[in-house]
Structure 1
Amino acid sequence: MIIRKPLVAASLLAAACLLCLPTKPATAHSLFIQAARYHVSKGKVSPLFFCYGHHFPVDDAVRKEKLHSVQIQSPDKSVAPVQLRDGKSLHSYMVDYEQPGTYVLSAETTPGYFTRWTDKKGRKRHSIKPMQAIAQKAASVETSIFSKQWTKTYVTCEKPSSPFPGCIGMPLELVPAQDPSTYKKGEIAEFKVYRYGKPYTGVGYWDATYNGYSTVAEDMYVQRTEVRDGVIRLPLDTTGRWFVRFFIKTPAPENKRDEYLTSKLTSTLVFEIPNARKKPKVDGH
């Protein structure tokens, strides 16, 4: 598999955000990885691109420093890293689909921080640095979050792989119970949460939406929902591109409490349910 040079101008971005606490408004960005096409012919060259921000389908550019890694897993299980472009951009990259089967496009963010605090003059402030960076200026710290994200999508070249390469061993991962290319409108899609390749059954929160549902930021089709068994069930009420997000939130360990108060880990997944052609083709097009 060959990953071609970056495609600078043609990519789209979409987004939803990192939710600091289950009961508080969103404060930061979530990252989703997408493919321009979800079913391709062998030899097809097609871009991947990122969704980042607060609005679907386009919001913000991504800094290279925010992306710890981007990689492509081919149907033969070989993994190729993507060489990232410097600077802040749309970060779209051309991928050659050379083998029949299921490709897994994935990415991991560089860890980040978000601290909300009050300075010694009583002014409300926020920072993308850990707590010790503002310790001398702060009278109090309202919240301080350490965050890291993992994102994934699947592309079928000619036909799905068997077995379906659902889990690729990410630290936090949403794994479909079946190949997303087999989903149909009206079904219930089931996803299982994994931590380092093993089922996760702790408390977490998920939400989901599809492209075109709403133009308002964080106006999700399925609102934030608590899950305690690591299993998510999503009603597929329409065709189109779906975005699913899951996060877990835990107190900082003792040796990190000078850096942050809460750890938040997020996993996202994009998949597409195609529809039949609605109007006949026009000759010559």
Structure 2
Amino acid sequence: MNFHGLEVRQKALTMLRDGMGNREVARLMKIPPGTVSYWLHMDRAKRGEAVTTRPSLLCPICDDRSLDHPAYAYVLGLHLGDGHISHYAKHRVPSLMITMDDSWPGLQDAAEAALRAVFPHNATCRVRSKGCHNIKVYFKHLNCLFPQHGPGRKHERPIALLPWQQQIVAAHPWEFVRGLIHSDGCRNMNWTTRVVKGERKRYEYPRYWFTNVSDDIRRLYTDTLDRLGVEWKDCTRHGKPYNISVARKASVALMDARVGPKY
């Protein structure tokens, strides 16, 4: 990335104030057109002139832009499961990337649709990887919308929702649960055997699993299930909490009505 000194910037602003177009200034001074546009925008704002900010730059938290709450609750669930924010030096803005398995193309469509609803003015894309696609969006204020982002793995640091996030999840709990299940959960058929009148019979029944190493993320999931009246059970792996099971018939019926199997 090239950094331009104050003298270069001032020379460009003088040309712009004299009426020269952005592209012409960029061509003469061999500066990216976007840089020239940004300098002009900041110069006008500093001088008190009326300026407009592109919708793609506005943040729901910093600028009070409208936010699609149901879509955000779903994306938040996806992010806590299979999403992360990347800050690459070669990119001007960070990217949110949600990894979705190719076995579930419908979930990839749902994730992309939700990102478009949360970021209506920012382009989304899919990046192919081995056996999956990364659903991505670039936005300068991703850390404002997803303050749970931080260095290291999620299960190695505290994960807690801010009050405004708690309000959204409380208003749209099923969307949050769907996001968590679509990222780190599944619906499958479990089975057991029982002896009936001296004969052992096999019984099958549906069960929802949610698997996450982070105690905090599992707690966010189970706290939401409690508010929804869904019964759940902790299941351990090698003596450590790992899976959350929903197997009671009435609770599975609730999950089926609002979440359903992956597709």
TM-score normalised to the size of structure 2?
Answer: 0.25
Question: Which structure would you say has the larger RCO, counting Cα contacts within 8 Å and 6 or more residues apart?
Answer: 1
* Bigger share in helix: 2
* Bigger share in strand: 1
Larger gyration radius, structure 1 or structure 2: 2
